[in-house]
């Protein structure tokens, strides 16, 4: 209960801008039913309750903007718009898990916190991958200029890799495909393709040293 209380205090600090966002969208909090009852009504398909929930969720952009201002990051509008979509998708996907122990706004506010943290982590991973790209360019050039015997050794090293890593390396190094192309072809996220690629290259280096 102490955690819920502290979250409510944080939310209350930003109640003015959140109320403004709700008014602009026409959303006002209902005093007729509890938040839990509202969510349960949405889950069984009540159209009026769904409309009310949509009005309440119109506060998400203001929540994210407040968190962004508090962090001092000043993310660009398009990044906050993407974060809004991600939060709304997560809330809808996990709506059945809402227990009513905290207000609906407090529950959604926590999704906003997690989304901005996840966004920061994705940026950090992207920066690391950019550095790895530059680091591994010489190895890609080496693979392109191998002799027939050396090429055979490379294929033997590839066969020792997990299938997913080998597939990504073949597409990247021998077919010159981008990570986005590889992701579409293999049906995996682009970041997963990058992870397979760099892990596979590291293992290949060790194998080819033997």
Round to whole Å and give the CA distance between 37 and 104.
Answer: 11
**Range of weakest confidence among 25-39, 73-87, 113-127, 176-190:** 25-39
Round to whole Å and give the CA distance between 80 and 118.
Answer: 13
From the centroid of its chain, how far is CA 205?
Answer: 31
Instruction: Name the residue ranges covered by the structural domains of the chain.
Output: 2-122, 146-209
Residue 88's pLDDT band (boundaries 50, 70, 90)?
A: very high
Q: Which of 77, 50, 61 is nearest to 21 (CA)?
A: 61
CATH number of 146-209: 1.10.10.10
Q: How far is CA 143 from CA 49, 151, 153, 208, in A?
A: 60, 8, 11, 12
Q: What pTM does this model have?
A: 0.47
Q: Does domain 2-122 have CATH number 3.30.420.40?
A: no
């Amino acid at each position: 209960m102490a955690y819920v209380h502290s979250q409510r205090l944080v939310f209350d600090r930003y109640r003015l801008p959140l109320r403004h966002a709700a008014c602009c969208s026409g959303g006002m909090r209902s005093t007729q039913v509890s938040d839990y009852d509202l969510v349960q009504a949405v889950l069984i398909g009540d159209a009026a309750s769904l409309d009310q929930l949509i009005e309440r969720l119109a506060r998400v952009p203001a929540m994210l903007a407040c968190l962004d201002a508090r962090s001092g990051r000043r993310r660009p509008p398009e990044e906050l718009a993407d974060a809004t979509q991600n939060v709304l998708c997560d809330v809808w996907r996990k709506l059945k898990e809402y227990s009513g122990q905290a207000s609906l706004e407090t529950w959604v506010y926590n999704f906003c916190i997690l989304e901005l943290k996840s966004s920061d982590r994705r940026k950090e991973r992207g920066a690391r991958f950019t550095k790895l790209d530059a680091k591994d360019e010489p190895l890609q050039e080496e693979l392109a200029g191998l002799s027939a015997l050396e090429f055979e050794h490379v294929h033997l090293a590839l066969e020792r890799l997990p299938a997913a890593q080998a597939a990504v390396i073949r597409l990247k190094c021998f077919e010159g495909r981008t990570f986005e192309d590889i992701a579409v072809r293999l049906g995996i996220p682009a970041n997963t393709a990058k992870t397979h690629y760099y892990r596979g290259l590291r293992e290949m280096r060790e194998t080819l040293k033997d």
